[in-house]
Amino acid sequence: MSEPTDQSLIRNFSIVAHIDHGKSTLADRLISYCGGLSDREMSEQVLDNMDIEKERGITIKAQTVRLEYPAKDGKTYILNLMDTPGHVDFAYEVSRSLSACEGSILVVDASQGVEAQTLANVYQAIEHDHEIVTVLNKIDLPAAEPDRVKQQIEDVIGLDTSDAVECSAKSGIGIPDVLEAIALRLPPPSQQDPDAPLKAMLVDAWYDTYMGVVVLFRVIEGTIKKGMRIRTMNTGASYTVDKVGTFLPKPTDVKSIGPGEIGFFTGSIKEVADAAVGDTITEDKRPTPVALDGFKPAQPVVFCGIFPVDAADFEDLRAAMGRLRLNDASFSYEMETSAALGFGFRCGFLGLLHLEIIQERLEREFDLDLITTAPSVVYTLAMRDGTEIQLHNPADMPDVMQIDHIQEPWIKATIMTPDDHLGGILKLCQDRRGVQTTLNYINGRAMVEYELPLNEVVFDFYDRLKSVSKGYASFDYQAIGLKEGDLVKMSILVNGDPVDALSMLVHRGNAESRGRQMCERLKDLIPRHLFKIPIQAAIGGKVIARETIAAMRKDVTAKCYGGDASRKRKLLDKQKKGKKKMRQFGRVEIPQEAFIAALKMDDS
C-alpha cells in the first residue's frame, strides 16, 4: 500500500446486533467472500479469538479486518470491518470503536426480532451519526418472519426498513447484497490531508505473544509511518513505530497508513495499560494542535474480593492477575487481607460480565481455585467534614456518625420480553427498588425501562431475570449517574465475631430480609460444633436477624478396643486433611464451601 488509498473508496463500519443474532457468522462470511482467507484458514468465527469469547458468543476486544470488495459499479472498495464488544460493560470501548467508523450494519434475527441489546447498540450507533444498513439474518429459518420484524424495527427503533437486506449468514444467502449495501450506502470518511500533522485515535490495544503490545488505531488526518516517533497525548508516552500494518485478517505489514484508514502499529510498549483506549496518537516532533475529545480513563464500576481457596496459591494468583492485566488495562487489583479468607485481592471491573470473564480466565487459564466475594458497586460517601470517599469494599466503611449521606450508582435498564413473563419481571424490578419509566407493547412483546440502583443489579439480578422469564427476556443497561440512597452496612456475626467477607451495603428497607436469608443459609452451611453458635445479621450494634446452630449432642465412637486404636489414628489424619478446607473463625470452623455457597446466595 505504497500509494495512498483513495479516501472516497474507504468504508469503515461496525456490526451491531444482539447476542446470538449472527454477528460473528456474518463477519466471517464477509471475510471469506472477499477472499481474505482461504477456506482452509477460515476457522470458525475468526474475529472472536479467545476461548471465552467463542463460548459465550461475545466479543471482548475490538477486532478489525480490511477487505477489498470489487463492487458492481466496477470500483474496488476498501471495507474496514470493526468488530466491537457488544456488551454494556464495555460501553466506553464500544463508543470509541463506533467513533472510528462512519456506518453500521444492524443485524437482527428475522425470527427473534429486536432485543434489548439491539436497541442499546443501535442507539449508540445513531448517536455517533452512523449511516445504518439494516440486515435481517437467518432469513431461511422456518420461523423467520421478515415482514413482522421489519415492522417492529420501524416501530421500536424508527429506522426505515424499505431497503433492509435479507440474508442468511449461515447458509451464505444474500452476502453480496450486504457487501453492495455497505459499499454504496455507507459514506466514506471525510476527506483529510495526508500531509497534515498526525491525528489518530487509539481504538484498542492488546498483548500478542509474538508482537508484544499491538495498538489498533484510526487515522483522522496525517499519515502514520514505520519508524515515526509518535506520542499519545493524554498519557504523554512516546514510542517509535516498529511496524505498521492492517489485518487481512492476518496481520500484514505496510509502510504507512493515511487518513480515514484503520490499522495497527507496534512499538516498544511494555503493557496495554500504557495504551489507553480513546487517546489521541500524534507525531512527537510535529504534534496536532488539538487532541480528540471524548477520552476517558477506564473506570471500574464493580468490585469484589478474589481469594485463593488454598492460601498457598496466593503468589500464583498474583502472577495470573498480572498476566491478565497486561492485556486488559480496565481490570484493576490490589492486595486485600480478610480475616475470613486470608490473603487475596480487591478487584475492579467494568461490569458483571467483565468480572465473570476475568474470574473464569483465572480459573481456566491459570488453573486456580478461587473464592469470589459478593460483588459490590462503588459508593460515594459524602462525609460530614465535606470530603468525599469512594467506597469499594463494605468492610472499609467508616463510622456512620461521620457520614452525611451515601450516594450509589444507578442505571437505566431496558428489558424486552414476551408479555406473558412481564408480571414476574415487573415484580423483580420493583423488589430491587426499580422505578419504571417506560412500558410499551409491540406485537406481543413488551419493552420496559426501569431505573435501578446498580447494587441491586450486581446481586444476581440477571440470573433472576432469566429464571422469571424462562430465559426469554433480554436485558441491557446504561449508567445514569449517582443518587442518594438510604444505605446501611449489614454485618454478619458468627458466634459474636463479625465475618468481614460477608458484610455488605444494603438498602435499609431490604436489610432485614437479606439478613434473614443470609443467617438461614449459614445455619445450614456451618456444621454443628461442641457449643451452640449464634448467627446474627446486624446494622451497627442492632441485631436484625438471628439463627442458632444447636450444639452437637453426640459424636463418639461406640466401640474402641485394641484393634481400633490404629483406625482412630488414621481417622484423625483424614480429619487433618479436611481441616485445611476449613476457615477458623474465633472458635468456629467454617467450611470453605459455606463461604462460596453463602456468597452465591440467590433470592429464591
Partner 1 sequence: MSSQIIPNRIMEGASAPLAIYIHWPYCARICPYCDFNVYKRKEDTALLPAILRDLEHWRELTGSRTITSIHFGGGTPSLMSPVQVGAIIDKVADLWTFYAPEIALEANPHEMSAADWRGYRDAGLTRMSLGIQTFHDPALKFLGRDHDGTTAQSALDLALDIFPSVSADIIFGWAGQTPRMLADDLRRALDAGTQHISTYQLTIEDGTAFAKAEGRGQARAVNTDLSADLYDLVRDTLIDAGFEHYEVSNFAKPSHRSRHNLAYWQGLDYVGVGPGAHGRVTQNNKRTATIAHLTPGAYARAVTETGAGIDSREVLSASDWASEYLLMGLRIDEGISLRRYHEILGEDLNEIELNALVEDGLLTRADDNLKATSHGRLLLNAVTERLLLA
Q: By CB under 8 A, tell whether 574 contacts partner 1.
A: no
Chosen residue from 568, 581, 593, 602 binding partner 1 by CB under 8 A: 568
Chosen residue from 569, 588, 590, 598 binding partner 1 by CB under 8 A: 569
Of residues 208 and 564, the one with the C-beta less far from partner 1:
564
Q: By CB under 8 A, tell whether 268 contacts partner 1.
A: no
Of the candidates 412, 411, 410, 407, the residue with the CA atom closest to the CA atom of residue 484 = 407
Query: Minimum distance between the CB of residue 567 and partner 1, rounded to whole angstroms?
Result: 9
Chosen residue from 235, 529, 543, 596 binding partner 1 by CB under 8 A: 529
Residue 421 assigned as binding residue? no
Q: By CB under 8 A, tell whether 579 contacts partner 1.
A: yes
Chosen residue from 143, 312, 401, 530 binding partner 1 by CB under 8 A: 530
Chosen residue from 562, 585, 596, 600 binding partner 1 by CB under 8 A: 562
Take residue 77 and report the three cell numbers written for it.
472498495
Query: Minimum distance between the CB of residue 210 and partner 1, rounded to whole angstroms?
Result: 51
Please tell me the distance from the alpha carbon of residue 59 to that of residue 436, in angstroms, as a whole number. 30
Q: By CB under 8 A, tell whether 523 contacts partner 1.
A: no
Residue with cell 488495562: 329
Please tell me the distance from the alpha carbon of residue 334 to that of residue 344, in angstroms, as a whole number. 8
Q: By CB under 8 A, tell whether 40 contacts partner 1.
A: no
Residue 571 belongs to what H/E stretch? helix 564-579
Of the candidates 410, 415, 408, the residue with the CA atom closest to the CA atom of residue 394 = 408
Of residues 40 and 554, the one with the C-beta less far from partner 1:
554
How many beta carbons lie within 10 A of that of residue 357, not counting itself? 24
How many beta carbons lie within 10 A of that of residue 128, not counting itself? 18
Residue 515 assigned as binding residue? no
Stretch that binds partner 1, among 117-125, 222-230, 356-364, 527-535 (CB under 8 A): 527-535
Stretch that binds partner 1, among 282-290, 461-469, 487-495, 550-558 (CB under 8 A): 550-558
Stretch that binds partner 1, among 29-37, 50-58, 508-516, 560-568 (CB under 8 A): 560-568
588 SS3 class: strand
Residue 23 assigned as binding residue? yes
C-alpha separations of 496 from 278, 288, 536, 539 in Å = 50, 63, 8, 14
Query: Minimum distance between the CB of residue 522 and partner 1, rounded to whole angstroms?
Result: 20
Take residue 129 and report the three cell numbers written for it.
451519526
Q: By CB under 8 A, tell whether 581 contacts partner 1.
A: no
Residue 22 assigned as binding residue? yes
Query: Minimum distance between the CB of residue 417 and partner 1, rounded to whole angstroms?
Result: 42
Please tell me the distance from the alpha carbon of residue 93 to that of residue 353, in angstroms, as a whole number. 14
Of the candidates 97, 96, 86, 93, the residue with the CA atom closest to the CA atom of residue 120 = 86
Please tell me the distance from the alpha carbon of residue 378 to that of residue 509, in angstroms, as a whole number. 20
Chosen residue from 158, 385, 572, 604 binding partner 1 by CB under 8 A: 572
How many beta carbons lie within 10 A of that of residue 365, not counting itself? 14
Q: By CB under 8 A, tell whether 481 contacts partner 1.
A: no
Of residues 401 and 556, the one with the C-beta less far from partner 1:
556
Stretch that binds partner 1, among 95-103, 153-161, 512-520, 526-534 (CB under 8 A): 526-534
CB 232 within 8 Å of CB 213: no
Query: Minimum distance between the CB of residue 508 and partner 1, rounded to whole angstroms?
Result: 38
Of residues 512 and 589, the one with the C-beta less far from partner 1:
589
Q: Which amino acid is at 294?
A: G
Take residue 512 and report the three cell numbers written for it.
432485614
Q: By CB under 8 A, tell whether 559 contacts partner 1.
A: yes
Instruction: Say which residues have a Cβ less than 8 Å from residue 160's Cβ, sequence separation at least 6.
Output: 154
Please tell me the distance from the alpha carbon of residue 232 to that of residue 343, in angstroms, as a whole number. 37
Of the candidates 257, 274, 286, the residue with the CA atom closest to the CA atom of residue 10 = 257
Where would I find the beta strands (DSSP E) of 384-511? Answer: 388-391, 403-418, 435-442, 445-453, 474-485, 487-494, 497-498, 504-507
Q: By CB under 8 A, tell whether 558 contacts partner 1.
A: yes
Q: By CB under 8 A, tell whether 496 contacts partner 1.
A: no
- Helix-, strand-, coil-residue percentages of the chain, each rounded to 5: 30, 35, 35
Chosen residue from 402, 427, 552, 602 binding partner 1 by CB under 8 A: 552
Pairing of strands 76-83, 10-17: parallel
Take residue 337 and report the three cell numbers written for it.
487481607
Query: Minimum distance between the CB of residue 549 and partner 1, rounded to whole angstroms?
Result: 14
Chosen residue from 311, 383, 400, 565 binding partner 1 by CB under 8 A: 565
Residue 25 assigned as binding residue? yes
Please tell me the distance from the alpha carbon of residue 353 to that of residue 90, in angstroms, as a whole number. 9
Query: Minimum distance between the CB of residue 41 and partner 1, rounded to whole angstroms?
Result: 56
Residue 234 assigned as binding residue? no
Of residues 335 and 552, the one with the C-beta less far from partner 1:
552
Q: Tell me the site size for partner 1, rule CB under 8 A.
A: 24
Please tell me the distance from the alpha carbon of residue 237 to that of residue 275, in angstroms, as a whole number. 9
Q: By CB under 8 A, tell whether 587 contacts partner 1.
A: yes
Q: By CB under 8 A, tell whether 561 contacts partner 1.
A: yes
Stretch that binds partner 1, among 100-108, 413-421, 480-488, 546-554 (CB under 8 A): 546-554
Stretch that binds partner 1, among 148-156, 310-318, 330-338, 573-581 (CB under 8 A): 573-581
Please tell me the distance from the alpha carbon of residue 569 to that of residue 510, in angstroms, as a whole number. 49
Asked whether the CA dihedral 219, 222, 228, 229 is positive or negative, the reply is negative
Q: Which residues are annotated as a binding site for GTP?
A: 20-25, 137-140
The binding site for partner 1 (CB under 8 A) comprises: 529-531, 552-563, 565-566, 568-569, 572, 575-576, 579, 587
